[in-house]
Structures are given as C-alpha cells and as structure tokens.
Amino acid sequence: MPTSTIRESDVDVLIIGAGPAGLMAANALARNSVKVRIIDQRPVKVAAGQADGIQPRTSEVLQSYGLAGRLLEQGNQMHMAAFYNPSSTGGIELTDRVPDVTAPTARYPFEVTLHQGAIEAIFLESMREFGLDVTRPAIPVSIQLSEDELELKDPDAYPVRVVLRHLGHENNADETEVVHAKFVIGADGAHSWVRKTLGIAMEGEQTEYIWGVVDLTPETDFPDIRNKSAIHSNNGSCMIIPREGDKVRLYIQLDESGFVSRNGRIDKGKIGPYQLLEIARKSFHPYSIQTPEKIDWWTIYNIGQRVASRFSVQERVFIVGDACHTHSPKAGQGMNASINDSHNLAWKLTHVLRGWADLTLLKTYEFERRKYAQDLIDFDKQFARLFSGKPRTEQFQDGVSHEDFLKIFQTFGGFTSGIGIHYAESLLTNVTHQHLATNLIIGQRVPPQIFLRAADARPVEIQDLLPSDARFKLLVFTGDSSSRSPLQLEKVRKTTEELHRVLMELTAGRIFELFDILSIRATTKTKVRYNDLPVLLRSHWSKALIDDIDVSGTKGGDGYKKYGVGTEAVVVVRPDGYVGMITALDNPTRIGVYFKSFLRANE
C-alpha cells in the first residue's frame, strides 16, 4: 500500500516550471556550473501549438549559448510580410510586401517559427549535456522565505523553503520533498502559482479583442501563404504565420463572428477549428482554402495585457516569463520576452553564487525587465488596436489605413525584433563616454560585425566571441598599434600595464575567470604581426583581431566606422551581450570604478 515519504535537500537555484523561460534559465545556469534543479507539474512536455515565434534578437541570444544552429535548421524563416486589403471588386488584394523585420543591424534579419515543443527540446538537449534534466511531475505545495534579515543578506544561506510533492508513477507512492534553496525562479506561466502564493499583483486589464488560432497544412491558391500576411477585409481580419514544414498558423478575428457574447466572453464549447476556418474563409475571398483532413492544434484567446507589480521578493524569489507579463500573441513577443528575462537573470545569479557580485546586482533584473515588459504592453495595445480595427474605406473614413498599419509595423521594428532593447542607466549601465563609440549604444546589445583574426586572417563574427559564459568582455580598440605606428604601440603597451593592474585588483589575480579580453586593431591583414601586442591583449592567438576585409573581399571591414570608434576606446560588454560602459584607452581606472559598484571587495 502506497505511503508518503519525506526527504530534504538543498540546491542553489530551484526553477519551478519547464516552459521556455524555465528551460532557458536552467540551461544557462547549468552551463555556468551552478547547482540547479528544475521541476514541472506536467508529466510530459508540450508537443505542438502554443507560442512559436523567435525574434531576431532571441536568435542572437540563443546563438550566444550555441543553440541557434538547431533552431535555424528546424525552423521556418519569415523574411517577408504581405498586406492584403479590401479590393474595389469585393474580396481582398495585395497592397504591399515589405521586409518582415525592420532592424538594419539584425544578424538574423528574419523571424523563425517553430513549435514550442521543438524549442523546448533544444534547451532540454543542451541541458542534458550539462547533466541536468527536468524533474516531473512535481507539484510545489508551499514556499516560504526566511524572515531573518541576516540570513536574507547572507549570499551563502538557503533562505527559501519549498515543499514539493513528487507524483508517484503506477504503484509508487507520492513523495514529499523539502527543498532549501538559495534562490527560486518562478517560471510557471500566466497562472503562476509562485506569483499568487507570494501575493504579487498583476496590473493591467483584459483586452476587448478575441481571436481564434488554427494550425494546419493548407491547400490554397493564396499567393502569400508562405509569407507573414496581414489580411484586413470587410469580412474580418486574419493573420498568416507560416511555420516549419508546410504548416501554417492562422490568427482569426472573432469579435463580430457571432460567437462572442455581449460581455466579451466566448464559449469554447460552441466553436471548433472547422468553424474558425469557415470564418477565416470569408476574409480570404477571392482566394480559397480547402478543408484539411486534420487540424494540428487550435485555441481561442483573449489575453490580458498585464505586468506583475514586482518581479522578485527580496531578490531571493524571482518570477520570469508569462508569470510576470501577459500580452497578445500577434506581435509574436511572448516566448521572446520569457527567454530574455531568463537570459538577463541567469548570469547575475551566477555572479552572486560564485561570490563575485553583491546581492544588490540582482535588483537590476526587475529594473531592466519590468520596464521592458511595460514598454511591450504599451506597444501591444497600439498594435492590437490597429490590427483589430476595421479597414478604412470610402464609406468608413475612420477605419485603419494601410499606411497607418505599415507605419506602426515599421516604427516598432526595432522593438518587435528585440534588437532595439535598451536597458536604462543603472549600476550596470554607465551612460557616459558614449562619444568614444557612438554606435555601440550603452544599454543595447553589441551589433554583429565581422573582424579578422590577426594570426590567420580568418573572418569571425564578434557576437560569436561574446558567448554567454558569465564573463564580462573587454573590447580593446587599440587604433593602429602595428609596427608601422611605434608610438601608438608604445601607448598601448603602457595603458595595458595599467589595465592589468586594475583587473588583477578586481579579481584577486584570477582575471580570466571574470573577464575575456579581445583586442581590435585598425591595421591590415598583410602587415599585422599578431604577436607584437602585450600578452594581456592576446591571451590566446585567436583573441587578437583586426578591422579589415577578408581575403575573398566579401566579409568584414569598416568595423571602427560602423561602431563609431574614432581612434581608440575600451568597451565593457556585459555577460548578456549588452554594452555596459565605455572608457578611453588611456583611462582604465574608470573600469575599476564601474566594477567596484557591484563586485564584492576581495578579501
């Protein structure tokens, strides 16, 4: 007869919820050798449907973990957006096609669509290489934070107590486990148990727009079925998102379909996927979609546009992803915001757990990501209003014109692509000295640029030299410090000695545990000697770069110009790829000041 057992355990980070946000955090922490566990109450992972759009910045972030390859291999790419509007003869016609992504510096200038299960599988496979898997099914029963101020301020303490129930398989009994954690991450979705249990309020309201979603493999004569297509007809609106293989997702406006009651509610029992398809057909005319034998997935939603009042309790319990912000899926932001929440949090937890940074560093998580979530909802409101609005016609001059819609589509391109995410001034973001590198915007991610390795003239993407390995990166733009310019080389040697002293002091001699250093010289591949730089600037031969075009004449070059670096500068890049501060080559002292604001003093 099954009986209940109790065991106790401790862990550095416990993650509750194994969706994209939770898995992203788990993978990032496991990669950094943090002692981490992740649990989920679902016995198996999601196989189809749900969120599935990966924005350009998210692809860059995944690449920084070495994960973009599989994403690009499996996913569909959306390069083009098509806009259909009412034609003069009834039905719809093609008004315009424009690039789907409006973000000139995007390394991957397209959105990737892939079902959520496949994206989760990418994280799961990566995590397993670090020896981590999801514990499931396991249900959190209670969560308690210590009330001892000293304990809460002790980075080595385990002030969070979580009781879990592991559901038994077949004849096995349920098991209760008491987990003592240094930190807990609530990644348990829009109905977050962590958030509710800790009494964190959601601010905002439900939207008035109701949409249906259908995933299918269509037979159609519609010429833009493989492009993202926004259809505004006099018979409703519809959006097409092509997906992996030959699959397509349709978003169908339901507001006036007759299925929505006066109070804005919809009875899911009264409508099914084939009825949704029937509604979509009306807006497709004169194009047709045949009725498929099977519908892969469908749903109806009316999601609120809401943000949690707080993203953490005492910097010991954090909420990430849908647990702290919900919005409409049409802007394709949900999973991206979730993944980037965890990307922002994981390296900060790593620094605290390694004893490098003070707990105060963790305050920047809410500061940076809550502001982003609010901006997202402001954008979403405008976008949803325009998208759901009736098209402008002769008869209906108050309607939404194609120009209105296109304008917001492109104006917010930097935002929707994730490329323009800009973290405001904080202890991590020192906004002075921007003039030294005018296009390496402090608070934004480092744009892609190809440089050559000095030793072998191989073109390398700078983003690939900024992996998410929890280290800060110093980009040392030395000017033309080649043997042609002995004075500049001498200056570089001198200031490197000073930089070395600063870094030795900050790290108690273990410089390369906290930092990686790349040098970028303004010289040519035919003249450079990779080994005439001070060793600190070429700790390995592959770390010495030059700003030149490659031997095939097609890649690289003009990096100083594109980054807006005049002659020289040192740029500090945060472990998540965002520019933290900039200083003059001959002023490394400021680097020490920047880091001392959040690194722990060395004993």
Binding site for a copy of itself (CB under 8 A): 69, 76-80, 97-101, 106, 109-110, 221, 223, 225-227, 242, 246, 453, 455-459, 525-526, 529-532, 541, 550-552
Q: Any residues with CB less than 8 A from the CB of 533 and at least 6 apart, and which? A: 478, 481, 492, 519, 521, 544
> Side chain identity at 336, as an amino acid letter?
N
241 or 384, CB closer to a copy of itself?
A: 241
269-276 CB contacts, 8 Å cutoff, 24+ apart = 271/212, 271/300, 272/298, 273/214, 273/216, 273/298, 276/212, 276/213, 276/214, 276/250, 276/252, 276/300
477 or 530, CB closer to a copy of itself?
A: 530
Closest distance between a copy of itself and the C-beta of residue 525, in Å? 7
Rg over alpha carbons for the chain, rounded to the nearest Å, is: 26
15 or 240, CB closer to a copy of itself?
A: 240
166 or 228, CB closer to a copy of itself?
A: 228
Quick count: other Cβ atoms within 10 Å of Cβ 556?
24
375 or 550, CB closer to a copy of itself?
A: 550
Residue 220 DSSP class: B
Q: Which of 86, 140, 242, 329 is catalytic?
A: 329
Q: Which of 12, 52, 188, 480 is catalytic?
A: 52
The alpha carbon of 341 is separated from its chain's Cα centroid by a whole number of angstroms, namely: 7
Q: Which of 251, 365, 372, 530 is catalytic?
A: 251
Two tokens, residue 589: 């002292």
Q: What CA–CA distance (Å, rounded) separates 577 from 516?
A: 13
Closest distance between a copy of itself and the C-beta of residue 67, in Å? 14
Q: How far is CA 371 from CA 206, 363, 365, 423, 505, in A?
A: 20, 13, 10, 9, 34
Q: What CA–CA distance (Å, rounded) separates 442 from 445?
A: 8
Q: What CA–CA distance (Å, rounded) separates 18 from 116?
A: 12
Contact, 27 vs 123, CB < 8 A?
A: yes
122 or 362, CB closer to a copy of itself?
A: 122
10 or 464, CB closer to a copy of itself?
A: 464
Q: Is 329 labeled as catalytic in the residue annotation? A: yes
Please name the residue that has the structure tokens 């040192």: 570
Closest distance between a copy of itself and the C-beta of residue 208, in Å? 33
Closest distance between a copy of itself and the C-beta of residue 80, in Å? 4
Query: What is the CA angle 350-351-355, rounded to 5?
Result: 110
Closest distance between a copy of itself and the C-beta of residue 529, in Å? 4
Backbone angles phi, psi at 79, to 5 degrees: -100, -30
Closest distance between a copy of itself and the C-beta of residue 241, in Å? 12
For residue 346, the surrounding DSSP H or E stretch is helix 334-353
Q: Is 96 labeled as catalytic in the residue annotation? A: no
> Side chain identity at 387, as an amino acid letter?
F
Two tokens, residue 583: 């200083």
326 or 416, CB closer to a copy of itself?
A: 416
Give the residue among 369, 354, 366, 362 at the shortest CA–CA distance from 598. 362
Query: What is the CA angle 493-498-499, rounded to 5?
Result: 90
Q: What CA–CA distance (Å, rounded) separates 463 from 450?
A: 9
Query: What is the CA angle 39-44-46, rounded to 5?
Result: 100
- The DSSP-derived string for 59-88 is HHHHHHTT-HHHHHHHSEEE-EEEEEEE-T
532 or 586, CB closer to a copy of itself?
A: 532
Q: Is 243 labeled as catalytic in the residue annotation? A: yes
Q: What CA–CA distance (Å, rounded) separates 141 from 144?
A: 10
Closest distance between a copy of itself and the C-beta of residue 186, in Å? 37
258 or 553, CB closer to a copy of itself?
A: 553
50 or 76, CB closer to a copy of itself?
A: 76
Contact, 399 vs 393, CB < 8 A?
A: yes
Closest distance between a copy of itself and the C-beta of residue 226, in Å? 4
Closest distance between a copy of itself and the C-beta of residue 329, in Å? 21
Closest distance between a copy of itself and the C-beta of residue 544, in Å? 10
Give the residue among 21, 6, 22 at the shortest CA–CA distance from 132. 22
Quick count: other Cβ atoms within 10 Å of Cβ 250?
26
229 or 495, CB closer to a copy of itself?
A: 229
Name the burial class of residue 172, with classes exposed (0-12), middle (13-18) and buried (19+) by CB atoms within 10 angstroms of its CB. exposed
Task: Return the SS3 of 98.
Answer: strand
Give the residue among 588, 582, 466, 574 at the shortest CA–CA distance from 534. 588
Closest distance between a copy of itself and the C-beta of residue 150, in Å? 49
Closest distance between a copy of itself and the C-beta of residue 234, in Å? 23
Residues tagged active-site = 52, 243, 251, 329
